[in-house]
Amino acid sequence: MSATVLSHPEAVERLTREWETPPGILGALGTVDHKLIGKRYLVTAFVFLVLGGLEAAAMRAQLAGPNRRLLSPELYNQIFTMHGVTMIFLYAAPVLSGFANYLWPLLIGARDMALPRLNALSYWVFLFAGLFIYASVLAGQMPDGGWFSYAPLSERVASPGLGPDFYALGLLFLGISTTAGAVNFVVTFFTLRAPGMSLNRVPILLWGSLSTAVMVIFAMPALTVACVFLYFDRRLGMHFFDAVAGGHPLLWQHLFWMFGHPWVYIVVLPAMGIVSDILPVFCRRPLVGYTYVVMATIATAILGFGVWVHHMFSTGLPSVAMSFFSAASMVIAIPSGVTVLAWVATIWFGRVVSSTAFLFMAGFVVLFVMGGVSGVMTAAVPFDWQLTDSYFVVAHLHYVLVGINVFPVIGASYFWAPKMTGRMLSERLGRWNFWVMFVGFNLGFFPMHIAGLLGMPRRIYTYPAGLGWDTVNLVTTIGAYLFAVGVLLFVINLVWSLRRGAQASPNPWDSPTLEWSVSSPPPPYNFAVIPVVRSRHPLWEDRLHPDDPARTDLSAGSPLDEGRLTLQTSALDAEPAEVLPMPGDSLWPLALALSLSGCFTGLLVGNPILTGLSATLLVVSVTGWLWPETREQLP
Partner 1 sequence: MTLPGLQLASPGPLRPASEMATREAQLGWALIAIGVIVVLIITALVLTGTFRHRGEAAEQIRREGEGIRWITIGGIVLPAIVLLAAFGLTLKVLRSQQLPSRSSDVTIEIVGHRWWWELRYQGANSQQHAVTANEIHIPVGRPVRVALKSGDVIHSFWVPELGGKTDLIPGQENVIWLQADRAGVYRGQCAEFCGAQHAQMALMVVAEAPDDFARWFALQQEGAPAPTGAALRGRDAFVGGPCALCHEIRGTEAGGRQGPDLTHLAGRKTIAAGLLPNDRGKLTAWILDPQTIKPGSLMPRMRLNDQDVAAMVEYLETLQ
Partner 2 sequence: MTTYPLPETARKPPVVAEAADVRPPGRWAMILVVATEAAFFAYLLFSYYYLASMAREPWPPDGPLRLHLSLPNTIVLLASSATAQWAEWSARRGNRSAVLSGLLVTLLLGIAFLVVQGLEYSEQRFGPTTDAYGSLFFTITGFHGAHVLVGLIMLAVVSTRAAMGHFQPGRHLAVSNAVLYWHFVDAVWLAVFITLYLSPRLI
Instruction: Map residue 194 onto helix, strand or coil.
Output: coil
Query: 74 contacts which partner out of partner 2, partner 1, none, CB within 5 to 8 A by kind?
Result: partner 1
- Restricting to residues 17-56, which ones interact with partner 1 according to CB under 8 A? none
Whole-number Cα distances in Å, 190 to 108, 206, 210? 11, 11, 10
Nearer to partner 2, 189 or 540 (CB): 189
Q: Would you give the binding string for partner 2 spanning residues 109-138, x where CB under 8 A is met? A: -----xx--x--------------------
Q: Which of 32, 204, 322, 580 binds partner 1 (CB under 8 A)?
A: 322
Sorted by sequence, the CB contacts under 8 Å of residue 201 that are 6+ apart come out as: 533, 535, 536
Rounded-to-integer distance, Cα 620 and Cα 86, Å = 32
Q: Which of 10, 25, 499, 609 binds partner 2 (CB under 8 A)?
A: 10
Task: Output b/e per residue, 516-533; b: 16+ Cβ within 10 A.
Answer: bbbebebbbbbbbbbbbb
Q: Would you give the binding string for partner 1 spanning residues 518-547, x where CB under 8 A is met? A: -------------------x--x--xx---
Rounded-to-integer distance, Cα 177 and Cα 171, Å = 10
Whole-number Cα distances in Å, 422 to 221, 414, 427, 528, 609? 40, 12, 15, 18, 49
Rounded-to-integer distance, Cα 568 and Cα 191, Å = 5
Q: Is 468 in the site for partner 1 (CB under 8 A)?
A: yes
- Report helix angle 249-266 to 204-236, nearest 10: 160
Q: Is 342 in the site for partner 1 (CB under 8 A)?
A: yes
- Restricting to residues 86-145, which ones interact with partner 1 according to CB under 8 A? 144-145
Query: 529 contacts which partner out of partner 1, partner 2, none, CB within 5 to 8 A by kind?
Result: partner 2
Q: 222: part of which helix (H) or strand (E)?
A: helix 204-236
**Segment near partner 2 (CB under 8 A); pick from 322-330, 475-483, 489-497, 626-634:** 626-634
- Restricting to residues 288-307, which ones interact with partner 1 according to CB under 8 A? 288-290, 292
Rounded-to-integer distance, Cα 123 and Cα 517, Å = 27
Nearer to partner 2, 118 or 174 (CB): 118
- Restricting to residues 221-260, which ones interact with partner 2 according to CB under 8 A? 221-222, 224-225, 228-229, 232-233, 236-240, 242, 245-248, 250-251, 254-255, 258
Q: Is 454 in the site for partner 1 (CB under 8 A)?
A: yes
Cis peptide, bond prior to residue 549, ω within 30 of zero: no
Nearer to partner 2, 316 or 382 (CB): 316
Q: Which of 183, 186, 366, 502 binds partner 1 (CB under 8 A)?
A: 366
- DSSP state letters, 457-520: BSS-S---TTSS-HHHHHHHHHHHHHHHHHHHHHHHHHHHHHHHSPBPPS-TT---SGGGGS-S
By residue count, the chain amounts to 635
Q: How many residues bind partner 2 (CB under 8 A)?
A: 71
Nearer to partner 1, 27 or 66 (CB): 66
Q: Which of 326, 405, 526, 611 binds partner 1 (CB under 8 A)?
A: 326
**Segment near partner 1 (CB under 8 A); pick from 177-185, 281-289, 484-492, 519-527:** 281-289
- Restricting to residues 535-564, which ones interact with partner 2 according to CB under 8 A? 556-560
> Any idea what DSSP says for residue 154?
T
- Restricting to residues 491-530, which ones interact with partner 2 according to CB under 8 A? 529-530
Q: Is 455 in the site for partner 1 (CB under 8 A)?
A: yes
